[in-house]
Amino acid sequence: MPRPKEFDPAQALETAMQAFWERGYEATSIQDLVDRTGVQKASLYATFGDKRALFRRALEHYQAQGYAKLDAALNHGASPLAALRAHVREMVEGTCSASSPRGCLWVKAALERAPHDPEIAALMQAHVRRVERAFRDALSRARERGELAKNTDVEAKARALYGATLGLHVYGTLMPKEKPLQQAANQILGILDS
């Protein structure tokens, strides 16, 4: 009979995600993960697989948290456009937060790993499609409510808005001051008005 786990896998995954978020994939060693989680190397491997498999699980965990926030934000309130604006502003606040000056784990992973790892690239591409679909659905609701012109190409607008928000994440990582980032966000939000 296998021994019961002496650690909480969900907590270990959360802690590993935080480590990857702070340092990136390459700069986070297995020993860093052992030290941060308090879980022995053999137990990490037995539960999650190798470092790359743990990284993938951490990304999936991060994405699940993000999807829950995104869905709640975009399906809340009477105005889909107001919900999109609030979501972008919340993203800016999170990027500039003194308690979390790490930027976006997903963007970091996309830049660091996707060019070299087809499996991670596929995960990233699925994520892009998922978020674009959420933006498109909110924009479609806005069009149906008369907040956007009937001839608005919601697919193109969703892609433009999401692409611009990805750029905001990179910009915010490099220039983590709220005022310039908020100014950039205000210009990006103009996409919703065009």
pLDDT at 185: 86
| Residue 103, phi then psi, degrees to nearest 5 | 75, -150
CA distance 17 to 171: 22
Residues 6+ apart with CB under 8 A from 51: 25, 28, 30, 33
Q: Where are the beta strands (DSSP E) in the chain?
A: none
Within a domain: 93:
yes
Can you give the CATH number for the domain in which 186 is found? 1.10.357.10
Note whether 13 and 56 are within 8 A (CB). no
Within a domain: 66:
yes
Q: Which pTM was predicted?
A: 0.87
Q: What is the pLDDT along the chain (194 residues), one digit of tens a residue?
A: 555 568 899 999 999 999 999 999 999 999 999 999 999 999 999 999 999 999 999 999 999 999 999 999 998 878 999 999 999 888 877 776 666 657 788 888 999 999 999 999 999 999 999 999 999 999 999 999 999 999 999 999 999 999 999 998 888 888 777 788 888 888 888 888 87
Within a domain: 45:
no
pLDDT at 155: 97
Q: Is 97 left (phi over 0), alpha (psi -120 to 50) or beta?
A: beta
Number of continuous H segments (helices) and E segments (strands) in the chain: 9, 0
Q: Measured over all CA atoms, what is the biggest interatomic distance in the chain, rounded to whole angstroms?
A: 64
Within a domain: 116:
yes
State how many domains the chain has.
Answer: 1
Residues 6+ apart with CB under 8 A from 19: 28, 32, 33, 36
pLDDT at 1: 52
Within a domain: 174:
yes
Q: Which domain holds residue 98?
A: 51-191
Within a domain: 132:
yes
The radius of gyration of the chain's CA atoms, rounded to the nearest angstrom, is 19
pLDDT at 18: 94
From the centroid of its chain, how far is CA 75? Answer: 18
Within a domain: 149:
yes
Q: What share of the chain is helix, strand, coil (3-state, %, to 5)?
A: 75, 0, 25
Within a domain: 41:
no
CA distance 68 to 55: 20
